[in-house]
Structure 1
Amino acid sequence: MSDLLLPTLLIATRNAHKTEEFAEMLAPFAEVVDLTDPDFENLPEIDETGTTFDENSLLKSASISKITGGITLADDSGLEVDALDGAPGIYSARYSGDNATDATNREKLLSELKDAPAPRTARFRCVLALTKNGQTLGTWSGALEGTIGFEEAGDAGFGYDPVFIPEGDTRTLAEYTADEKNAISHRGRAVEKLVAALRNGEVALG
């Protein structure tokens, strides 16, 4: 960990898939824990009442860091489909209702697009917010352009990965290795900007 840029970094999520991706991408720079860690598991759920990815990421990060007093990173991300006027957008995780799962969300998406011809353009979008004691240290965003396929393919990744085909490829993200995905993903691109800001001293951690 000679390149450590941060102390233990709390990710404001209970989504194991997201935490795994952050741990892989930030491994050289920070030690990652999330809200399932015994030290943080009793922290409250934060209602995502914002109307944009920016608002929700800041809301989650600031709310948690205000309680802990430490440095917290939050991610708000989702899928925007042009044929659906940008839906599911900020509602991507709960697109198919209160009891939504990745599978039911994909099923609803493909059903909504059943009459939409190719190319069914879309993008994954991510906004990261880093806060300390409830105060914003910085925000960074990333996006990945692509299209929505007509059927699922691949068994890696999570969320909408099995139906999302990155621009310039014929494979879905669920057919990528973890390293391939992290190198081009919306989250990976946002993390690159975060790391660059830390390296360049653009974030006042003190």
Structure 2
Amino acid sequence: MDEDPNRLVIATRNAHKTQEIREMIGDCFEVVDVTAFPDLPEVEETGTTFLENATLKALAISRELEGLVLSDDSGLEVDALDGRPGVWSSSFGGEEGNHAKNNERMMREMAGIAERSARFRCVMVLARGGEVLAHFDGSVEGRILDEPSGAGGFGYDPLFAPEGHDRSFAELGAEVKNGMSHRGRALAKVVAWLGDKG
């Protein structure tokens, strides 16, 4: 496959994540994800840190495709839970990618706990041809709400209120969230790096 310098492949099958990145990156690149390449293998996320998992995905996909590949591993770290769920955020409720079960478990574990500080953390890895070009990180501090609020966003967004706000990410809307989110902050560094490299 010929390399398209304006294409950025996101190493995910999560349509919500791809759409967020597409909205944030604007017209700089044509953003596609691995669902556009059905023959690509599934990448097992066996790392114990966001960086390890993001690197695994970026390297595996960049060995299979020409051009730039961007991977992301992100999750929620809750101080009262000793940083959990962390890299296991998407399976916290016992079923991979089941947001409702993840949020239900979070509410159970946080019931009656006054200390509710938490953060979303994201690590992105940019790779080409099986080599890591650079990695980037972003985080946003906030707190866990007593119950879900709002219908927007995905994942833990209904339970997370970012610092300086009383409303959850799910209530604040995509434009506000993307301007301050962990993924938005990491992606801004990606875009700046790509701009410096021309």
TM-score range, shorter chain: over 0.9
What is residue 104 of structure 2 aligned with on the other side? 107
Q: State the alpha-carbon separation in 2 of the partners of residues 99 and 124 from structure 1.
A: 18
Q: CA deviation at 1:97?
A: 1.5
Q: Which runs of 4+ in 1 moved over 4 A?
A: none
Query: Which whole-Å deviations, capped at 9, do the CAs of 1:103-125 have from their partners, x for residues lacking one?
Result: 100000110111211x4000000
CA contact (8 A) 1:146 1:165 kept: yes
* Structure 2 residue ranges without an equivalent (≥5): none
Aligned 1:1-206 pairs, distance under 5 A: 6-37=5-36, 40-117=37-114, 119-201=115-197
Question: Number of residue pairs matched?
Answer: 194
Q: State the alpha-carbon separation in 1 of the partners of residues 96 and 138 from structure 2.
A: 28
Q: CA deviation at 1:98?
A: 3.4
**Any idea what SS the aligned residue of 1:86 has?**
coil
Q: RMSD over aligned Cα, in angstroms?
A: 1.2
Q: State the alpha-carbon separation in 2 of the partners of residues 7 and 92 from structure 1.
A: 32
Q: State the alpha-carbon separation in 1 of the partners of residues 148 and 196 from structure 2.
A: 41
**Any idea what SS the aligned residue of 1:9 has?**
strand
Q: State the alpha-carbon separation in 2 of the partners of residues 72 and 41 from structure 1.
A: 16
CA contact (8 A) 1:69 1:134 kept: no
Q: CA deviation at 1:28?
A: 2.4
Normalization by structure 2: what TM-score? 0.95
Normalization by structure 1: what TM-score? 0.91
* Structure 1 residue ranges without an equivalent (≥5): 1-5
CA contact (8 A) 1:102 1:158 kept: yes
Q: Percent identity?
A: 51
Q: CA deviation at 1:100?
A: 4.8
CA contact (8 A) 1:145 1:166 kept: yes
